[in-house]
Structure 1
Amino acid sequence: MALTPRLDLRQSQQLVMTPQLQQAIKLLQLSNLELADYVSQEVERNPLLDVGEPGDGPITQEGGEQGGSASDDYLREGGEQGGDGSDGIVAADRGLESAMDTSSGNDGALDTDFETNIYNSDAASDRVSTESAPEGMSSGSLSYDGGGSVKSSGGGFDERGLDQTLEGEESLQDYLMRQMAVALHGPAERLIATHLIDLVDDAGYLRTESLDEVAEQLGTDEMEIGRILSVLQTLEPSGVFARSLGECLSLQLKELDRFDPAMEALINNLDLLAKRDMAALKRVCGVDQDDITDMVKEIRALNPKPGLMFGGASVQPVVPDIFVHKSRVGTWVVELNTDTLPKVLVNQQYLSELSEAASGKEARTFVSDCVSSANWLVKALDQRARTILKVSTALVKTQSHFFEHGVRFLKPLTLKDIADEISMHESTVSRVTNNKFMSCPRGMFELKYFFTSSISSGDGGDAHSSESVKFRLKELIDGEEPKKILSDDKLVAIMQGEGIDIARRTVAKYREAMRIPSSVQRRRLKNMGS
């Protein structure tokens, strides 16, 4: 059989992930602060982009009013109804009706049709639409205001200078250096002390196994290193320059004049204290029950990591991405935190100047690419705001009993439940809930918190959320009396009597996840007066 060339026509379907679509999907996973960093990098790369002032804060829309295109029919129904347990859900989106026309009319983008909704990769068409704009618009700017709306505004980027400087925190090393300058006077002593201070970690411990290594590095004898170390161990905070937990506690007890032989024996047997073996501790220390209880209380009053009160890396507070609160008419209002959302501007005036100055083909191509990229970013940010608002509103509607009554009324929920509710893909919901936090009257919660597994009901009723079961388990343990410690079997019996069908191994797993000791350890702790 001879091989001959031939032409075949075949039809197939495949999903093409363009670079713009990949970046748009990536935006969903970013928190507001991460998004601000991303936008700043885009502004550096694209001369047509400017960053304006953040939004003036979320605007609340009450009474079930229509909040814009993100508040679609299902959201508005939640605000009008009230008897379905949702008590009315209102999506406050600062008027997410966009100034630009998304011809598809579908707000549930970021799924398979995401590419057709949020950007136009045709740079030439972007340039044509810009050049054909009305004359009065040439000095304006197309902007995304952080709350979701895209609009045209006049004026350029308001560049503001620093009007104040921040005072830096004093680190532990700086604090020790100031004290060392007073405690030691000789140049050689200060040189050794400076080296030892450099070896102190954030917790205040000396990071070295032996003083012999330090003496060898500095070319001196171990006795001199030990003498200077003993001076440094008298500095504040008490317990600093210790090489072990026992030494740290000993230094603090010596300063309090409480390091007697019985306490020294207790410090030398901290492993028994960790095991709560009070009988063995009483024998080792030679004291009775009242004395050992008082000694343990003194130990617990000490600071095992004294250096943490100074310097160290600053703790960044969690900034909420979504706010949830009740309006005056009793409806739950869901709104984006526009204070942390970047405001992106496409500077039309600068674009007009660049278009006139671009004479060569390469220059015109560069301007076209910048226009396309800038317009895509503005639309992508708008679509991101719409999607986050839609998912958050669906969460509040589904978990309305949690917001009303607390953790015990948290419902079992999966990503698929929310995805089906808002007609989006599961992966989109997963990306939206990743690293996003919601602030509500009951506290700050990560969006992932509301997705919990279910535990069946013993009486055939609705299933229970695993988080609500954990909460009930902790309630029972916190309320137990020292003489009536509840075992895991007893906890199972109580919860099954309340209609929660739970196994003993599940109780043990939940208890360990919450770092709650066993019944034997809890009995010892209660007897110690903890």
Structure 2
Amino acid sequence: MALSPRLEFRQSQSLTLTPQLMQSIRLLQLSHLELNAFVDTELLRNPLLEREEGPSEDSADSEPVEKPVEMSAYEDTVAQGERIQDADQIAEGYDTAVENVFPDAIPQDIGQTSGPDRGGSFEGGETSDLDQYVAAKPRLSDHLEAQANMVLRTTADRLIAQHLIDGLNEAGYLSVELDSIAELLGAEIEDVEAVLQVLQTCEPMGLFARSVAECLTLQLIERDRFDPVMQKLIENLHLLADHNMSALLKTIGCDKEDLIDMLAELKQLDPKPGLAFDIAPVESIVPDVFVRPGPDGGWQIELNSEILPRVLVNRVYYATVTKKTRDTAEKTFLIDCLQTANWLTKSLDQRAQTITKVATEIVRQQDGFLTHGVSHLKPMTLKMVAEAIEMHESTVSRVTAQKYMATPRGLYEMKYFFTTAIASSEGGADHSAEAVRHRIKNLIDAEDAKAILSDDTIAEILRKEQGIELARRTVAKYREGMNIPSSVIRRRQKKNLAD
């Protein structure tokens, strides 16, 4: 076959992503805060766009789901905790460990102050404005820089201190190596260590520590309570995290009463002193969709119109300016502005309709959850919803990102309802992974102190009694994800409580 240039005609179809189409896709995955910020930018840039004032008359409501249901009593959902990865992170859970092992060891008045309680009220019963306290929270870096300028005399020491302050994480721990700071500044490692020792005396005590043990040690030294026995307790915090009280008593060489007193002192310490300062603004979660019981026994799905930006295209202004202008560039600019304004209003309306359509399908498929609770949560994937509403999976994924749904059972992110399926050993319908977690938690909560359930036993109970086919390692993964300790630690906890 000879190689020679020639002309050929071929017909093919392809999808071209125009800038406006790409922007429309991007609008789907924006949260309501990001969407309002984007619209505000467009309002400043486009003279033909105006924000609609007042309530919207044509809110994006959808018809109730046809399947009639009856409302039952609300159930609490499973709280997802954070897993403690190792003993060095005992700050996450040593308070709970103390209370579980010796519930009567900690005096009730420890940590009580005259400040506001958890509900935001003072002793006099007067409710405070929480927003004022959040806004008045000082920044950790500013707080420490002011102290460093008073306790450090030379410019070199203050420069080292600034790098050490920048190396603190949100909990107040030093996350950078001293060697790297010394190398960066061309200073001696002894000088960096000397500055660190001075900064560790700053208020609140416990800052600039490199481990939980060092953080607690600094606070105990400041209280003049770091005696040899307390030092042994700090060195063996991993035994406290494992709830191995017998080994802890043997290691530190004290009796049970002394250990109770020392644990009470640890209870008064702050393992994360940096969290008392402002780090990032607190953002409240606002639902994008409301799900309410309908008058006919079904469900009503309604968009939260309060957070949706409403814009109008000022065509009167466009017509007036177009008649008066003679400049070609100005006319081109006005035409572009009109096209952009029309695209934005159309995209916002399409976004609202898509969110409503996806939310309606989620409610239809998760009707059992809304009626009976998390134990009836069905396995659901993006593909199942996409096929039902005749959309692409990527569109459903974008719509459910950073969107929240307010239901009679609480506020949930839309992605919460998408769970993997676990096969049934009896050949019936599949089970949702979230519902299985709920069953595992119920089994552990109801276990007898003299018959602690192992992961193998839980898997066997799920298979025989509830028809859920689950491997032991999967049970362990779900249990750890709910911050539930192993059977060995649970046995120690309940034994100590019984003693």
Give me the TM-score of the superposition, normalised by structure 2: 0.74
| 3-state SS of 2:153 partner | helix
The residue that corresponds to 1:484 in the other structure is 451
Q: Compared with structure 1, are the counterparts of its residues 5 and 453 closer, same or farther at alpha carbon in structure 2 (3 Å cutoff)? A: closer
Q: Matches of 1:282 and 1:195 in 2, distance apart?
A: 42
Q: Is the 8 A contact 2:206 2:219 kept in 1?
A: yes
1:120-519 maps to which residues of 2 (within 5 A)? 169-176=137-144, 188=153, 192=157, 196=161, 199-200=164-165, 201=168, 202-206=170-174, 209=177, 226=194, 233-274=200-241, 276-289=243-256, 291-292=258-259, 295-296=262-263, 298-299=265-266, 302-327=269-294, 330-496=297-463, 497-519=465-487
The letter for the 2-side match of 1:196 is A
Q: Is the 8 A contact 1:176 1:197 kept in 2?
A: no
Query: In the TM superposition, what whole-angstrom CA distance separates every residue of 1:478-506 from its partner, at most 9, and x where no partner exists?
Result: 33344332101111122221232322232
| 3-state SS of 1:439 partner | strand
Q: Matches of 2:136 and 2:202 in 1, distance apart?
A: 22
Q: Which has the larger displacement, 272-281 or 316-325?
A: 272-281
1:47 aligned to 2:43?
no
The letter for the 2-side match of 1:304 is P
| Unmatched runs of 5 consecutive residues or more in structure 1 | 60-66, 88-163
Shift of 1:358: 2.8
Aligned length: 434
Q: Compared with structure 1, are the counterparts of its residues 6 and 312 closer, same or farther at alpha carbon in structure 2 (3 Å cutoff)? A: closer
Query: In the TM superposition, what whole-angstrom CA distance separates every residue of 1:163-182 from its partner, at most 9, and x where no partner exists?
Result: x9x9553112333456678x
Q: Compared with structure 1, are the counterparts of its residues 397 and 220 closer, same or farther at alpha carbon in structure 2 (3 Å cutoff)? A: closer
Q: Matches of 1:213 and 1:506 in 2, distance apart?
A: 44
| Unmatched runs of 5 consecutive residues or more in structure 2 | 73-131
The letter for the 2-side match of 1:357 is K
Structure of greater Rg? 1
The residue that corresponds to 2:13 in the other structure is 13
1:80-95 maps to which residues of 2 (within 5 A)? 81-82=67-68
Q: Compared with structure 1, are the counterparts of its residues 69 and 317 closer, same or farther at alpha carbon in structure 2 (3 Å cutoff)? A: closer
Shift of 1:514: 3.0
Query: In the TM superposition, what whole-angstrom CA distance separates every residue of 1:30-58 from its partner, at most 9, and x where no partner exists?
Result: 221121122233334433223344x648x
Query: In the TM superposition, what whole-angstrom CA distance separates every residue of 1:377-421 from its partner, at most 9, and x where no partner exists?
Result: 111111110111111011112211211221101011122322232
| 3-state SS of 1:316 partner | coil
Q: Compared with structure 1, are the counterparts of its residues 253 and 327 closer, same or farther at alpha carbon in structure 2 (3 Å cutoff)? A: farther
Shift of 1:528: 5.0
Q: Compared with structure 1, are the counterparts of its residues 3 and 394 closer, same or farther at alpha carbon in structure 2 (3 Å cutoff)? A: closer
Percent identity over the alignment? Answer: 49
Q: Is the 8 A contact 2:182 2:189 kept in 1?
A: no
Q: Matches of 1:485 and 1:337 in 2, distance apart?
A: 47
The letter for the 2-side match of 1:172 is L
The residue that corresponds to 1:26 in the other structure is 26
Q: Matches of 1:221 and 1:446 in 2, distance apart?
A: 49
Shift of 1:255: 4.3
Q: Matches of 1:528 and 1:490 in 2, distance apart?
A: 23
Give me the TM-score of the superposition, normalised by structure 1: 0.70
Task: State the Cα RMSD in Å.
Answer: 4.0
Q: Matches of 1:333 and 1:510 in 2, distance apart?
A: 33
Q: Is the 8 A contact 2:288 2:405 kept in 1?
A: yes
Query: In the TM superposition, what whole-angstrom CA distance separates every residue of 1:251-274 from its partner, at most 9, and x where no partner exists?
Result: 223445543321111212334445
Q: Matches of 2:180 and 2:428 in 1, distance apart?
A: 70
Q: Matches of 2:316 and 2:489 in 1, distance apart?
A: 72
| 3-state SS of 2:337 partner | helix
The letter for the 1-side match of 2:23 is Q
Q: Compared with structure 1, are the counterparts of its residues 179 and 326 closer, same or farther at alpha carbon in structure 2 (3 Å cutoff)? A: farther
Shift of 1:425: 2.9
